[in-house]
Amino acid sequence: MQKRYGTKPVTPSSFKMVKMDDLFDPVAASIKQLLPNVLSRLEAKHGPFFKARHKAIFTSKFIVIKVPLNERGLIDVFHEAHLYSKKDDKNLAPSKIVLINELPVLFMQKMDTGPHDNLPDWAQNVDAKQVGLNIKGQFKAYDYGIV
């Protein structure tokens, strides 16, 4: 029996195959266009940034700002904001998305990155043990992206 979606039958020939690059090319082009202005605005306020694989990282006294440099950075930014917004894991540093000139940028509470000798057991599950202390002295993961 054929499945129907609306009034048109759904068959394998009715689907169009799409390459992943074709989906991300417009996103990458958009980031590339918006990035110079966003970086210069943040650099004027927060000083030079550290360039990670997929993000530019700015720091100030109380926050870390993660700017996606490409589509993988954008996926990370959304992933980190989404995980924190679910409030399921109390061990994540608070974060939120802010649009700067239409580019989604992650603002995260800054952690004291140590080194710390007395990390909690759950820190073993965090990539490269990227765990630090917040201003209340609680350990929180500060890098929980997926890329």
The answer to whether residues 80 and 129 touch, using CB atoms and an 8 Å cutoff, is: no
CA distances from 32 to 25, 53, 63, 70 (A): 10, 15, 24, 7
Give the pTM: 0.78
For residue 57, the surrounding DSSP H or E stretch is: strand 55-59
Percentage with pLDDT > 90 across the chain: 43
pLDDT in tens, 88-131: 778 889 999 999 998 999 999 999 988 888 899 988 888 888 89
